[in-house]
Chains A and B, each alone.
Chain A
Amino acid sequence: MTAWQHSLQTKLTVSFIVLILVVSGLTFVFTYGESKTALKETTQDELRGLASVIATQIDGDAMATLRPGDEETPEFLAIRNQLDTIRLSNPDILYLYTMRQVGDTVEFIVDADYGTDDGAAIGDVYDAVNSPLLAGFVAPSVDSEFVTDQWGTILSGFAPVRDSSGAVVGLVGVDMDSNRVIQRQDFVGSTIFIVIGIAVLIAGGLIALFSRTIIRDIRTLNATANAISTGNTNVSVDVERKDEIGELADSFGRMAASLKIMMDSDPEAK
């Protein structure tokens, strides 16, 4: 009996499982990477579109007049309440605010969170300025990667806010919590992983079964050959297959039958 580690069944099964794991691993890496990118791009498109729509709803004329200390004015409260209502109606939005450029700095105008610990007041300077934010004063834009600032790790979309004359008076920023996007990416990754895992298990089972039937028939042929080699010609080849092993068994059966006939000393016996 061949030791299990030298068995053809072990070698076949291990080889195929390694092959499947390599192929499925590469498929997973490629599919997950592509899905992750596609999901981020979809989220970016959503954010860009959302910021554009919100920007058109904000009263640019009123926003342009707001200065530090105007937090209790009806204009400020109207815009803040409007932003708060929009944010509440869309659970994907973490923060919603407007900003303007003052010289080289960017400062908050209206923050939907004003009045809470996280909220910014008019004129509060935003320190983590990046190029997508600056581009948002010109046209709708979105962060290319997650940005970490004092409010957490987020993905932001920006769109310019215009007054009644069409002049840009600031921008609206829409922040989405990175956890939401990462959760979606993880869900896609887990789903792909589970599907590939199930496929590997099924394929592994089928390969083990397939190699087992091959090895069983090879062992039968081997047992028959062993019997004949020790002088026992009273054997038959009990292998029924339509493949190459079946052909081998047929050839072997002919050989065994011939030997049996030739070795039979009594010409009248059969």
Chain B
Amino acid sequence: MSSDLGKEERPSKIARTGSFVDDRLGLARIARTTLRKVFPDHWSFLLGEVALYAFVVLLLTGTYLTFFFKPSQSETTYEGSYDALRGVEMTRAYRSALELSFDVRAGLVMRQMHHWAAVVFVAAMVVHLARVFFTGAFRRPRELNWIVGVTLLLLGIGNGFTGYSLLDDQLSGTGLRIAYSIVLSIPLIGTWVTSLLFGGEFPGPDIIERFFVLHILLVPAMIIGLLVLHLAMVVHQKHTQFRGPGRREDNVVGERIWPTYAVKASGLFFLTTGVLAALGGLAQINPIWIYGPFEPSEVSAASQPDWYVGWLEGALRAMPAWELRAFGFELPNPFFAGVLLPGLTFGLLYAWPFLEARFTKDREEHHLLDRPRDRPMRTALGVATLAFYAVLFLAGGSDVLSTELGLSVNRVIWSIRVSLFVVPITAGLVAHRLCRELAARDAEPPDSTESPPPGDSPPPVAIIDVEPELNGQEPIAWPPPVAASRTGLPPARPLGS
């Protein structure tokens, strides 16, 4: 039908494809809105993106791995190319992981990339969560997205654990044993839950097959669903932004998605993937052939889990030898570190937006972000919390610390027990003080050498921050209210307090 349209008016290929789709779905308007969407620009807004890209790598490499891995606990004898284990009895799971590492071309790089991507995925989520926390981005109207995000972190940690538990090497078996004992410690239901999960007493006949289904199907499906929801809410509510010229509660200032932001984001995807590839090729991770196949009666010293489980391991180690007994029943020791602590951790994380709103009585909508110094109390609490988990993480390597430092394990554990109180409190106080001083410095009257009044002198030559030019624009909504109240200036924007 287009033969008589004339050569000079023949539309481009993109236009023809576009109009084919649009004639059927009518998406031109929404597509244009999407291209023109404005996204505020700040390096810290890319942290969540890194997590997303690491997850994409997890999906791609993980799919490849499933073509080779056999999630089976049936016994077999290794006959592959790794000499040290030839002729050794092992499960099919461990054997297929060895074959994947030694006999499948490109298999080792894929496996190591997958593991590194998991490490980076959880790390990026934690740093992203810290960014959201310290800038107050979780406040109304974004509490729901905070909940989705915390759930994603929980699922990420869980799927990391089920992932490295599949290989049935000595380290993963030890981890499973500890996980079994933690679940077993839950009052009333612990014995039932372990029996149903493991298919019997440890090690049980089914755990690897079951964890495999959780690891490659159920949990990833949940992560994908929640990720879509997470991003959809960001798009719908529009991203938060830092204060700056022309930035108000009722607008978004930044770059349009098309083309610059899209190209930049794609670039970040390739950079993330590239770094993971370099790690996967060059940095050995989880060398299961060194650990050997899992033997329930053996364990090696210096058994450390992946970093994101390290705080739990540390809590198990640092916990004093307490258990509760009453009426012939007991609350075993691993319950405190293994069930209560993670329960409180995630309970408080979920509740934080609502707890803070209750303390500050601030239930307003916020689209402008705080700088950490604007909120000394929140920042101090956050820093103290991070310090607490950092000490727990160190406790997870108490045996390594003791050999490295030449101290007895006893002394290391006692130092850690003390540090668990001292370090967070100190870190919190220091953070609080630092916030106050930084805020006070911001509040000082403008110094002619530092910040010239708008419109008068030439714009500064090199300012690291994003907004060097003030000419012809609105004055910066700065100093922030906390500092402003001290200098007697009216607050630029109500922060609810």
Q: Do A and B bind each other?
A: no
- Residues of chain A having any CB pair with chain B under 8 Å: none
B: residues with CB less than 8 A from A are none
